[in-house]
Amino acid sequence: MESTTQGTVEIRVTGFGHPDAQRLSAEVQEEYVRRYGEGDLTVIHPEHFEPPAGLFLIAYLDGVPVATGGWRAKKADPHGLRDGDAELKRMFVVPGARGRGLARAVLRRLEETAALAGHTRVVLETGTEQPEAIALYASEGYAHIQKFGLYREHPQSVCMGKSLPAQDA
C-alpha cells in the first residue's frame, strides 16, 4: 500500500472474474462506446488472466476500485506477435481518479509481473481516440509496432510494444 496526499492506493491481483473487475470492465466498454461508437469486441475470458497465462490487477484508492489492467500471454502469429509477448488489456482509470498516476502505477506493475513470469515484450492495442493513453505508453518507452488483433485493419487502431528486461532465473 502506498499513501499519498491524494489518498491510500493499493494495487491488488484480483483476476478478471472479480466483481470489481467486471464492473470496471463494463465502464471501460462504455468509454469505448463514447469514443468509438461501439465497445471492444475482442474476446476476453477470465481464464486468460489466470497465472501463469496472465494476471489482472485493480488499483483501489481509499478502498474504492478505480483502475484496472491486465496482461495475457500471446503466441507468435503472422501479424507480428511473438512467443514471449504479454498483451495488455483493459487498462482503465475511472474519470474521477484520473491525473493521479494510477494508470502509470498499474502499467509498471503489469510490466514487472509480466517480466517475472518470463515474458520478453509487452504489446497493446489502443486507438487514435485515446490520445492520453498513447501519450502514457510513449512516455513509458512504448513504440509503434505492426498492428495485430481484431482491429489490425481498422484505421483508428494503434499498436505499441516495449521490450522487457531479462529476469534472472
- From the list 103, 55, 81, the residue with the least C-alpha distance to 160 is 81
Q: What is the pLDDT of residue 86?
A: 98
- Angstrom CA distances, 102 to 26, 146, 163, stand at 19, 28, 22
How many residues in total does the chain contain?
169
Domain 2-163 grouped into CATH 2.60.40.10: no
Q: Which amino acid is at 114?
A: A
CB atoms inside a 10 Å sphere around CB 76: 11
Helix (H) / strand (E) containing 68: strand 64-73
DSSP state of 48: G
Q: What is the pLDDT of residue 6?
A: 67
In angstroms, rounded to a whole number, what is the distance separating the alpha carbons of residues 57 and 106? 7
Q: What is the pLDDT of residue 17?
A: 95
Which own/partner pairs from 48-54 qualify as long-range (CB within 8 Å, at least 24 positions apart)?
48/16, 48/72, 48/89, 49/15, 49/16, 49/89, 50/15, 51/117, 52/117, 54/86
Pairing type for strands 121-127 and 85-93 reads parallel
Q: What is the pLDDT of residue 167?
A: 73
CB within 8 A of 23, min separation 6: which ones? 65
Q: Looking up cell 500471446, which residue turns up? A: 74
Helix (H) / strand (E) containing 136: helix 131-139
Q: What is the pLDDT of residue 7?
A: 81
Give mean pLDDT in consecutive 10-residue pieces for the chain, a chain of 169 residues: 69 96 96 95 94 96 97 95 96 96 97 97 97 97 96 96 83
Domain ranges of the chain: 2-163
- From the list 151, 152, 134, the residue with the least C-alpha distance to 143 is 134
User: What is the grid cell recorded at 58?
Assistant: 485493480
